[in-house]
Amino acid sequence: MRFQTPLVPARLIRRYKRFLADAVLESTGEEVTVHCPNPGAMLGLKADGTRIWLEPNNDRKKKLKYGWRTAELAGGHFACIDTGLPNKVIKEALLKNQISELSHYHTVKPEVAYGTGSRVDFLLAQNGLPNAYVEVKSVTLRRDGNCAEFPDCVTERGAKHLRELTEIARTGARAVMLYLVSRTDCDQLRMAADLDPKYAKAFDIARDGGVEMLCYASTISNTGMSIGKALSIDPAPQNRPRVV
Instruction: Determine the average pLDDT of the residues in 119-139.
Output: 97
Considering only CA atoms, which of 141, 236, 139, 148 is closest in space to residue 197?
A: 236
d(CA 28, CA 181): 33
How far are the Cα atoms of 78, 87, 117, 169 from residue 232, in angstroms, in the given order?
A: 20, 20, 31, 21
pLDDT value at residue 59: 82
Considering only CA atoms, which of 133, 200, 137 is closest in space to residue 168?
A: 133
What are the tens digits of pLDDT across the range 184-215? 999 999 999 999 999 999 999 999 999 999 99
pLDDT value at residue 243: 46
Model pTM?
0.92
Share of the chain above pLDDT 90, in %: 88
pLDDT higher than threshold 70 for residue 158: yes
pLDDT value at residue 163: 97
Strand pairing report for 174-181 and 212-220: parallel
d(CA 172, CA 175): 9
d(CA 54, CA 8): 5
Quick one: pLDDT band at residue 237, thresholds 50, 70, 90? low
pLDDT higher than threshold 60 for residue 238: no
pLDDT value at residue 236: 58
**What's the gap between Cα 141 and its chain centre?**
10
User: Which one-letter DSSP state was computed for residue 1?
Assistant: -
Phi, psi of 40 (to 5 degrees): -80, -170
Share of the chain above pLDDT 70, in %: 96
H runs (alpha helix) in 76-143: 85-95
d(CA 106, CA 125): 7
Crossing angle of helices 156-170/197-208, nearest 10°? 10
d(CA 229, CA 28): 38
